[in-house]
């Protein structure tokens, strides 16, 4: 069995007049993340970890923000494309782990929903996706509710 590991990181600014999407789930909050797509920092970090594990560049290269095609696109679509790309290369997802660092809002009530959404989009079991949420203890830009950051690791398995 051939295992490969990848790491992903993303951060987006919080801005008024935007909807907040994390892990493909709309979270009720007074601000949302700013970006070319829906700015779903969690899905971007997971996509980058998946691509990293496969040795296939990153989402910035795969989905350039200069391309109108990706304007306001749901990042679940990007995740689906990355999932298909890995399957083409003969990889299966072992597991996904991720941390969301957000001072606000409290994400605990949404964790199960987010895990289910990611698992469903990638066509894998929910037990293969783990999402954790932390505050930044009030420190720095994230603590000041100016941004949300996410980290992810992904293990890929290639059989044969
Ligand atoms: Zn991003």
Peptide bond into 105 cis (omega under 30): yes
Residue 14's pLDDT band, with cuts at 50, 70 and 90, is very high
For residue 66, the model assigns a pLDDT of 86
User: Where would I find the beta strands (DSSP E) of 56-142?
Assistant: 92-101, 129-134
- What pLDDT is stored for residue 64 in this prediction? 86
Mean pLDDT throughout 139-160? 95
Domain locations in the chain as residue ranges? 2-158
Render pLDDT for 69-127 as a digit per residue (tens, 0 to 9): 888 789 999 999 999 999 999 999 999 999 999 999 999 999 999 999 999 999 999 99
132 alpha carbon to ligand 1 midpoint, in Å? Answer: 18
Stretch among 2-16, 18-32, 62-76 having the lowest mean pLDDT: 62-76
Mean pLDDT of 147-155: 98
Cα(60) to centroid(ligand 1), Å: 8
Q: Residue 19's pLDDT is what?
A: 96
Ligand 1 mean position to 11 CA, how many Å?
Answer: 6
Instruction: Tell whether the model's pLDDT for residue 1 goes beyond 80.
Output: no
Distance 6 CA to ligand 1 centre (A): 17
CA 57 to ligand 1 centroid distance, Å: 15
CA distances, 63 to each of 5, 36, 56, 81 (Å) = 22, 10, 13, 10
The pTM (predicted TM-score) of the whole model is: 0.96
Structure tokens at 39: 């700015």
Question: What CATH fold (topology level) applies to the domain 2-158?
Answer: 60s Ribosomal Protein L30; Chain: A; (3.30.1330)
Burial code of 17-52, b = ≥16 C-beta within 10 A, e = fewer?
Answer: ebebbbbbbebebebbbebebbbbbbbbbbbbbbbb
> Residue 160: what pLDDT?
66
The whole-number pLDDT of residue 123 equals: 97
**Ligand 1 geometric centre to CA of 13 (Å):** 10
pLDDT of residue 2: 92
Q: Which tens digits make up the pLDDT trace of 28-72?
A: 999 999 998 899 999 999 999 999 999 998 888 888 888 888 887
Q: How far is the CA of 16 from the centre of ligand 1 (A)?
A: 17
């Amino acid at each position: 069995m051939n295992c490969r590991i990848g790491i992903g990181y993303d951060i987006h600014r919080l801005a008024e007049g935007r909807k907040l999407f994390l892990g493909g789930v709309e979270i009720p909050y007074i601000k949302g993340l700013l970006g070319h797509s829906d700015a779903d920092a969690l899905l971007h970090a997971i996509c980058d970890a998946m691509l990293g594990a496969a040795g296939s560049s990153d989402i910035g290269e795969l989905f350039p923000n200069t391309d109108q095609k990706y304007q306001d696109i749901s990042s679940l679509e990007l995740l689906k494309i990355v999932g298909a790309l890995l399957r083409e290369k003969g990889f299966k997802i072992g597991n996904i782990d991720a941390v969301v660092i957000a001072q606000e809002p409290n994400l605990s009530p949404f964790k199960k929903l987010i895990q289910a959404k990611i698992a469903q989009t990638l066509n894998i079991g929910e037990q293969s996706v783990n999402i954790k949420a932390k505050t930044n203890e009030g420190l720095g830009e994230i603590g000041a509710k100016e941004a949300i950051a996410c980290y992810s690791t992904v293990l890929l398995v290639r059989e044969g």
